[in-house]
Amino acid sequence: MDLDAVVFDWGGTLTRWHDIDFHAESLALAAAVTTAGHDPAAARAALHEAGNVVWGRAREHQQSATIADLFAEAGLDHDPALLTAYREFWEPHTYTDPEVGPTLERLRAAGLRVGVLSNTIWPREWHVGFFERDGVYDLIDGDVYTSEIPWTKPSPQAFRAAMDAIGVTEPARCVFVGDRLYDDVWGAQQAGMRAVHIPLSTIPAAQVGARQGTPDGVIHSLAELPDLLAAW
């Protein structure tokens, strides 16, 4: 195995894919609005549209954002302490795939470093908390969330940030694993990595992206990954 590291996408890769009710998501977000005299229905609609704009910038310009940026785009003030309803809305969709722990243990036993690179507007502490809750954070050597850097996948700078986080320098000796052919496969390959596609997610048409990469390998279960890499 001529590799140093494996870096994973998070949602739809280390978690199982879920269809999301974005109307309900916007309602949960609106619970954190503090703008005086705001109309709840108008706030929900503004936040929904702001989400489209923010994620559109991520896809088209690889521009990262935070939750605060989402409210700013909607023209609304918010209190981060009131995001409880929003986080509770997402909680059922954040659980780590049961295959993650055994897979990461096998990769580390083979001498590989393990990283995570996620396109997200959520703060680092939320993601770390999900991994800690599920007992797998100690199996991750470094993790990068785009809410804390200027870029999103498929920018090569985002992949470089993930490599820096796990202490590796040669992209050709790294593999990226993800569920999206644009962000994850094409993006990783543009950064000089090899890419493995795990096609278990139903990617909405608006999120498909401008280009589609041809993966170096395909798996249909995370448990298949160590054997695939061992044959490289």
Residue (of 226, 169, 231, 225) closest to 200 by Cα position: 225
Tokens for 134?
Answer: 């599920």
Tokens at 24, concatenated = 């309900």
Dist. CA 160–CA 157, nearest whole Å: 5
Q: Quick one: pLDDT at residue 229?
A: 97
Please report the pLDDT score of residue 134 as a whole number. Answer: 98
Give the count of alpha carbons within 13 A of 230, CB side only: 12
pLDDT in tens, the chain (232 residues): 689 999 999 999 999 988 888 889 999 999 999 999 899 899 999 999 999 999 999 999 999 999 999 999 999 999 999 999 999 999 999 999 999 999 999 999 999 999 999 999 999 999 999 999 999 999 999 999 999 999 999 999 999 999 999 999 999 999 999 999 999 999 999 999 999 999 987 777 777 777 788 999 999 999 999 999 999 9
pLDDT reported for residue 149? 98
Gap between the Cα atoms of 178 and 108, Å rounded:
19
Backbone angles phi, psi at 169, to 5 degrees: -125, -15
Domain boundaries, the chain: 5-16+95-230, 22-92
Q: What CATH code is assigned to 5-16+95-230?
A: 3.40.50.1000
Q: Evaluate if pTM is beyond 0.85.
A: yes
Nearest CA to 185 out of 171, 172, 202, 197 is that of: 197
Tell me the residue ranges of DSSP E strands in the chain: 5-8, 113-118, 142-145, 174-178, 194-197, 217-218
Q: How far apart are CA 48 and CA 223, in angstroms?
A: 36
Which amino acid is residue 99, in one-letter code? Answer: E
Contacts of 224 (CB under 8 A, 6+ apart): none
